[in-house]
Amino acid sequence: GAPERVSPTGAPTGAPMSSMAQQGEYLTTAHGARLTNSDQSLKAGPRGPVLLQDHHFREKISHFDHERIPERVVHARGAGAHGTFRSYGTASRISRAGVFAEGKETPVFVRFSTVLGSRGSGDLARDTRGFATKFYTDEGTWDLVGNNIPVFFIQDAIKFPDVIHAGKPHPDREIPQAQSAHDTFWDFVSLHTEAQHHTIWNMSDRGIPRSFRTMEGFGIHTFRLVAEDGSSVLVKFHWKPRLGVHSVAWEEAQLINGADPDFHRRDLADAIEAGAYPQWELGVQVFDDNEDQSYQGIDLLDPTKLVPEELVPVQPVGLMTLDRNPSNYFAETEQVAFNPNNLVPGIDVTNDPLLQGRLFSYLDTQITRLGGPNWNQLPINRPHAAVNDMLRDGYHQSAVHSGVAPYRPNSLDGGNPFETPENEHPFIDFPAPVAASVKERARPQSFEDHFSQARMFWLSLSEVEREHTAQAYAFELGKCWDETIRTRQLRHLFAIDPALGHAVAQGLGLPDQEPTEAPAQDVQPSPALSQVGGTWPV
């Protein structure tokens, strides 16, 4: 009888594109013609020359020539895993999002990453780690694109190219900052004092996690949750690892990175394969959505500030379990496209100027990285909710849209006006009031304090953690060859705390310096403050 029809990649014709084993009986061309030989090119006589006519050679080599896509401009190196988020129902009072309904289980895909290294860099670099979660909810995809450090280097997204240019490898030799001169990184950090808080977290043991499984995750920005009745609260998202938070010491990191640069990736995949599924509890700090959007003098729109958990406790809202490794790195971990724009009804943004800029950047970069605007059709990015957009055509369009009227309302395809009634859960942009004046490029006064939270972090460390942190500063600044930059940064460390400044100065063999500004006031979390209104029990 007739042989079974197979698709170009071996799956029976009509099988979903997402599950192609490429192990059909016959090797074929991409258009399905069977081949006899894929080992020798077509030549004029056994010893050549090779003929341009060899369509199989050209197809095979040309496809190979285009196998790589650009790596992410940041967070290029990562590892992913599938799992489930199970909601406790505790947040359903403050958010109408179905993902928070009691007992609701939502499939997730998580990608952990380093920020600055290229795709082939080592896992144990001193760096921030990405912690990005895609929730495939019934009401659309929600992406919580966070890091393992609760604050960020800059306050405004317009500075993102600057901080990344300063941290990426030097333009002349392309040697990463971690192994060579550190002038540009420390130049940026010392000239932008807002970066001091994030940097001290990086210099602490938090900068080199033991495992992805032992990292906290933070949404960083303040988000807005909207309840069924339209009322809103402000929240900060936290992931708490069930295994606790663990790091490695710098000396261990050096050894591990040399012996096994894939240490973190391997650890995650091995744990899941062995059935030791990592888990994180998702929690929220909840704040009143008041007019000035601040808490105890901390501007909630400033992403360089956190709110101490002693003041506003993190309240658990659900549990995430990662229990399945990707089966194809490229299709899943590489092609996944996270985007802070991916919000669902009940979860909304605030005016944090860093978040606002991110709402543009991810969509924009993915048009280049994933070759056009249709990456939502890639299996890993496909929403689990029904999609009925009016988007058409474009590079790598793989849907065959039918109908002649891709617009609403229309009278040809039966396209009624599209307003979804409120009781059917549409996404409603929260009607947040805005300040009257436009054309402001100024920094608000409430974004000016750059030292007191760095000091609070330093004071929160144990003796041995302080030692590690001072040693890290001394090591990294020791790689900065510009005397002016080193001294400028040292003065900031004296402003954070004279003991920190002194320890680092000693490590560098430099004299003590005058602090940049009068040392910041002690910020001591006071238990009494947690009694003050403004925190919401969920």
Q: Which is nearer to ligand HEM, 89 or 357 (CB)?
A: 357
Give the footprint of ligand HEM on residues 368-387 (CB under 6 A): 369
Binding flag, residue 196, ligand HEM (CB under 6 A): no
The Cα–Cα gap between 487 and 493 comes to 10
Binding flag, residue 477, ligand HEM (CB under 6 A): no
When binding is defined by CB under 6 A, the residue of 306, 354, 456, 474 that contacts ligand HEM is 354
DSSP string for residues in 222-267:
-EEEE-TTS-EEEEEEEEEETT---B--HHHHHHHHHH-TTHHHHH
**Measured on CA atoms in the order 262, 268, 274, 276, is the torsion positive or negative?**
positive
**Measured on CA atoms in the order 328, 333, 339, 340, is the torsion positive or negative?**
positive
For the record, the structure tokens of 335 come out as 């092609």
- Does 265 show up as a binding residue in the annotation? no
The Cα–Cα gap between 105 and 85 comes to 6
Stretch that binds ligand HEM, among 36-44, 190-198, 275-283, 331-339 (CB under 6 A): 331-339
Q: Which is nearer to ligand HEM, 92 or 204 (CB)?
A: 204
Beta bridge partners of 330: none
C-beta of residue 453 within 8 angstroms of C-beta of residue 523: yes
C-beta of residue 126 within 8 angstroms of C-beta of residue 476: yes
Burial track 3-38 (b if 16+ CB lie within 10 A, e otherwise): eeebbeebbeeeeeeeebeeebeeebeeeeeeeeee
Smallest distance, Å, CB 99 to ligand HEM?
A: 19
When binding is defined by CB under 6 A, the residue of 6, 56, 72, 473 that contacts ligand HEM is 72
Smallest distance, Å, CB 354 to ligand HEM?
A: 5
The Cα–Cα gap between 494 and 422 comes to 55
Binding flag, residue 217, ligand HEM (CB under 6 A): no
Instruction: Map residues 302-321 to x or -, x wherever contact with ligand HEM holds by CB under 6 A.
Output: -x------------------
The Cα–Cα gap between 32 and 478 comes to 60
Binding flag, residue 168, ligand HEM (CB under 6 A): no
When binding is defined by CB under 6 A, the residue of 15, 20, 42, 73 that contacts ligand HEM is 73
Picking from 39, 34, 29, the residue whose alpha carbon sits closest to that of residue 8 is 29
- Does 160 show up as a binding residue in the annotation? yes
Smallest distance, Å, CB 83 to ligand HEM?
A: 15
For the record, the structure tokens of 311 come out as 């003041």
Binding flag, residue 209, ligand HEM (CB under 6 A): no
The Cα–Cα gap between 381 and 20 comes to 18
Smallest distance, Å, CB 454 to ligand HEM?
A: 17
The Cα–Cα gap between 389 and 278 comes to 36
The Cα–Cα gap between 269 and 323 comes to 10
Give the footprint of ligand HEM on residues 138-167 (CB under 6 A): 145-147, 152, 157, 160
Binding flag, residue 338, ligand HEM (CB under 6 A): yes
- Does 486 show up as a binding residue in the annotation? no
Annotated catalytic residues are 75, 147
- Residues placed in the known binding site: 72, 111, 160, 358, 362, 369
Interface residues toward ligand HEM, by CB under 6 A: 72-75, 78, 111, 113, 130, 132, 145-147, 152, 157, 160, 220-221, 303, 336-338, 354, 357-358, 361-362, 365-366, 369
- Which residues does the annotation place in the binding site for heme? 72, 111, 160, 358, 362, 369
